[in-house]
Amino acid sequence: MSDMVKKLQAKPNFYALDGVSGEQIEQAERALSLKFVDEYREYLAAFGVASACGHELTGICASPRLNVVDVTISERISNPTVPADWYVVEQANIDGIVIWQSCSGEVWQTMSNVPPVKLCESLCEYLKL
């Protein structure tokens, strides 16, 4: 189990589903025409989808509201200037705030009519793990 997974599990109010297979992760990557960063792949393999300390993260699950493929495709339509190698890791559902991770690992925030803002270098850093 990776350090990131252990630290996420230790966060307050942690809830998760079961992890997903490598094949399910690869299917999601193909659907989005990108490759997830290793830390996000580890998260998906461990939990599929999870929430902790006020963050409800996307993942691979049946819920279109939390499924990374469904959410990313929908947000790409709403945010057409977002690079094609970004995927949604969290929808804040406040003021149109969306949190993305680039395929290089950086975490970005978008809002309507505002240029993207780089928040940090990794999902671990974003979640303060």
Q: What is the pLDDT of residues 44-99, one digit of tens each?
A: 999 999 999 889 999 999 999 999 999 999 999 988 889 999 999 999 888 899 99
- Asked whether the predicted pLDDT for residue 25 surpasses 70, the reply is yes
How is the chain split into domains, by residue range? Answer: 3-123
Question: For position 98, what pLDDT does the model report?
Answer: 97
What pLDDT, on the 0 to 100 scale, is given for residue 45? 97
| Residue 31, SS3 per DSSP | helix
What is this structure's pTM? 0.95
Alpha helices in the chain (DSSP H): 3-9, 22-32, 38-47, 68-78, 123-126
Number of CB atoms found within 10 A of residue 125's CB: 14
Average pLDDT over residues 9-36: 96
At 1, the pLDDT band (50, 70, 90 cuts) reads low
CATH fold label, 3-123? SMI1/KNR4-like (3.40.1580)
Q: What is the mean pLDDT of residues 15-37?
A: 97
pLDDT for position 114: 86
Burial class of residue 15, CB neighbours in 10 A (0-12, 13-18, 19+): exposed
